[in-house]
Structure 1
């Protein structure tokens, strides 16, 4: 049963709620949030706050009602997961545990299971702990408290967008003497120092810093080796803009990339014409879409022990 109430006091154990009933009501810390917290104020529960709560029991000692916000949040989280699954959305989840079948990641406050067969990285479970990884929903079953996720599907979705000449937004992860590693939707790409600007860059740190968000153009994508080469140099309206005015580079990125793709298309058309002119009997054709197919791999029909899947709710 849901009731509305107003918080009138908080302490280390929880919050006291006025629900205009004959008996008082108490919200324990463990029932204040879907996330693990040590004090109710971490969940925004302070005196004067009015909200909806669920009655989950009664204190035998003083007949006071015991309330929960956590259960309402769980219902909303499941609804949100079903919506995200229907929209086929890629989201980030933090890896918090593992067993012999896969890893456990927190998404929307729920514990989701990622089978090892659905992890594209070669990293071990220990290396993935506390890391945020891109995920897609495979199964959302509230009745069975089962939430199954796929890292492979999420990465395939990201990689499918990495056509040569496409512009993507990324975040600088780390700097090396030879370039910067950029996270582009869960995929790591290298922005080589020679591809930052037409002007010479002697110290990358003078242009980029870890945490910077920027637009980059995809130069090449080796799916087998998992290597993506990036460029901001190709996006410069005039040589050196990436050093002097990076904001302008990002504003003009799509326009400059379109010009680059047009030049590539013209070069391919000329090469194709020359090929057919000198070898008309060859019957050679050129793939015109230039896109990369998904990594397509669903969960195996066999081999996944459902007993290894932890409950989504804790």
Structure 2
């Protein structure tokens, strides 16, 4: 008898994530309660219960000091709020694909659309989805029930309808439902929310059932996706639904030459392995030696099937030694385990003693066994990457923000590592501005979104800029809520142009016009500020419509006219520098920013034809301030008055003698 195991049989990403979370919490010594059974599999539940996990039906049943785990099915918004009000820790294992449906139904309801949900109304996942609906919502389990519902609901064909499906809904039944919906509702929005793994699992099971004499579907009786597999396979061949090897009736396999096995998302690999061993025993009983020698070596096929499950390749180890190039690990076997640095992390610049310490425990993948040397080469990086890849794929679906560390700057971008997976981030997506240096990101922790996934090559592309834009948008919204003219800010000069300086006020930019940088005339902003300078500015003007912010930098109290008013009253003798000539006089600089006019009649104590007869550009002269017009910004100076005062003083001195 040939036995063929579906490649996609067993734990899905969401269920595996939830079970692993519970195991990790228990391993940390925490008291764990799950809100309902964490998985639809009695053997796994018994295993977790033996480790100390307890099932509760209501959050209030969680004893103090315990951690409540929300299973992959998710819960309603009201239950989430109920948990938040309780003084307990909560670990949310809701499947990312289910969370996506929660967001969709909430948004569609808020938009005033009617939400239709394809799924089992009694299933906890569907109940959780209903609990996130913000408007009118209906559930239908089959295409036939959908037709009945359409007559009963009685809303018009032009109604705004949005449709989602339970993640484990039958793909074939979904197609039937869509045909009905598209005919009835002209404005229907269809969201294909059936999990990719579910669709693949059902498709593969159907293909296998079409070629086999019999099928075994393994899984818990409460499991929705396992029930769908049974339904799909039953259409094509004799099918048995079993929770374990003990439930398989041996007498039914007489005359079966090709047996297929598949399993639901809640079925652990250990049960599939147990069934394979049982089928080996059955095979020996129902086939003759001649059949066994005819080419189908069942022992080899069994071994190959077991290998495909990867159950024997994963081990749990304890760090017992550390060298610069590898980590020595005790995995409970005679052979010595070691993890090369390259298999410990995806970061090429990392050091072993920075990553682990003696006594650390970790899950590892067996890469190679050398019986002659008595060693096992292990990998943590590949196991992390295998686990992390599913999360990266889910993050692309959900547009979830991931956090990673930039480990390399490469041609055209950077490499960041998250959950053991290397993510390429192009230069155009690595920084807020193309001019920002990539080297500044090296060894830094960054937030990014996955914008592209190549499942075949297991490669993903990320974007830091996408996250930065969202952050800047939020900061901008917060800024505009409180911004008003005259309000002061501390900022950093971001860039310079010929007409001004752009200042980062913390997520939003404002501009200081060149005329606002200095009270004196300047040719370029770089004469006053440089990129990176911290500056104290105030808002001069706001354009809400265009989103523009004008900033002031020079202070009114620093105005040269304020200085003149304070320090240079009329009658003050100053040393001024001649800066310009006209036919009616000369201009002399009193202080930077203020030039006074020495009228031609006030240049000398005798008549002159033109200013150049007595003065020249650049010459420093003593003069007295004779008048100031602050409104018109004009100052009058006189050299003649000083000369005449000097002559009078000399005459008085001579008379006294």
Shorter-chain TM band: 0.3 to 0.5
Q: Decide which structure has the larger Cα Rg and report it.
A: 2
TM-score (norm 1): 0.47
